[in-house]
Amino acid sequence: MQFTWTFPQFIVSPTYDGLTNVVTAVNWVCTGTDGTTSSSASGTAKLGTPNPAEFVPYADITYAMAYAWVAGCISIPGVESQIAQQITQLSQPVSQVQAAPF
């Protein structure tokens, strides 16, 4: 199973507590695939008050930073486990619709 995390949008406050361009939330999408079937989940990770000593303005954030911020707010293994379960259910349906035999 392979998981891909993307961060399509950031909620940015122009000014916050004396800082500029402060990321206050990150929208995330996690997509899992087993090669033939895929599923995804998405959400928003609301970040806490920025520490001025560690502050990074929006223009300077990296993928690794966004991933770490989201990982600090949600359970990455929990999301990936949920997606894996969805893929298993999609791959092995309990029932299916079939055309009438006549």
For residue 16, which phi and psi values (nearest 5 degrees)? -155, 115
- Domain regions of the chain by residue span: 2-87
| Strand runs labelled E in 1-102 | 2-16, 19-33, 38-46
Rounded Cα–Cα distance for residues 64 and 28 (Å) = 13
Q: Give me the pLDDT at residue 65, please.
A: 96
Q: Give me the pLDDT at residue 95, please.
A: 78
Which residue numbers in the chain have pLDDT < 50? none
Contact 30, 41 (CB under 8 A): yes
| Sign of torsion over alpha carbons 29, 57, 52, 11 | negative
